[in-house]
Amino acid sequence: MLLSTGATLPAWAQNAAASAPTAQMESVDPEAVQALQTMGNYLQSLKRFRVVTDHTGERVLADGQKLQHDAHATLEVDRPDHLRAVMRSARSEREIIYNGKTATLFAPEQKYYASVQYKGTLAQLVDELRERYGVELPLADLFAWGTPEAKTQKFDSAMYAGQDYIGNDLCDHYAYRQAGIDWQIWIASGDKPLPRKIVVTRTDDDARPQSVSLVSWQPGISIKPSTFEFKPPTGAKRIDAIQIPAKKG
């Protein structure tokens, strides 16, 4: 149910709204930038983990109406060069498996897979998949935060926005503005600053489509080595990985 323009907020909501910090546009709070660096350093220190995300995105129709769509992804990681990502939605299902030598993209429904020889870090693999093959890895920024590749120097504004609970975790809420996007992140308070929620709004599109990712963590878990080895199921067909043409200029 939507509130009408003149609707009155309940008392608890009024109190929360009154205590919320006021955004100071076009200013960069160094502590908000440092929060990302601290979080990134902690993420880079995690050798082995499982992370799960439930993602809601928006598709904008020609008449401006927005339609939401949901997706789910599970990533299992053993640094520096082992990854398995399983991505599912009502529209598609795919897996990415990397064992430090070979990266494989598998579509279980179609039973097609493509493999390429590759050797590099997970951050490098993320860039390679995006730039050469047009494949986006969910939560790709997890592998850039805390590294020189993180674009923390290009903020138009950065601010602290108070605290909220995400699940059972009390989180510090930050908001950032960069070219083409506004985005927010909720980082768990305390000595394990894990990102728990991420909201991205496109500002280079007049419709301002938005995506929301809720993130759950299992750091330090035991993962079987076989998790990172791809064995084609019966009937699976290998196809060539087609590279995106290099941009001219």
Distance CA 98, CA 124 (A): 12
Compute the mean pLDDT over every residue in the chain, rounded to the nearest whole number: 88
In this prediction, residue 26 has a pLDDT band, given cuts at 50, 70 and 90, of low
pLDDT tens profile 56-77: 999 999 999 999 999 999 999 9
Domain ranges in the chain are 23-237
Contacting residues for 150 by C-beta, under 8 A, at least 6 apart: 36, 37, 40, 141, 144
Say whether domain 23-237 belongs to CATH 2.50.20.10: yes
pLDDT tens profile 91-106: 889 999 999 999 999 9
pLDDT tens profile 200-231: 999 999 999 999 999 999 999 999 999 999 99
Question: How far lies 206's CA from each of 64, 67, 126, 201, in Å?
Answer: 9, 15, 29, 11
What is the value of pTM for the model shown? 0.84
Contacting residues for 29 by C-beta, under 8 A, at least 6 apart: 158, 159, 160
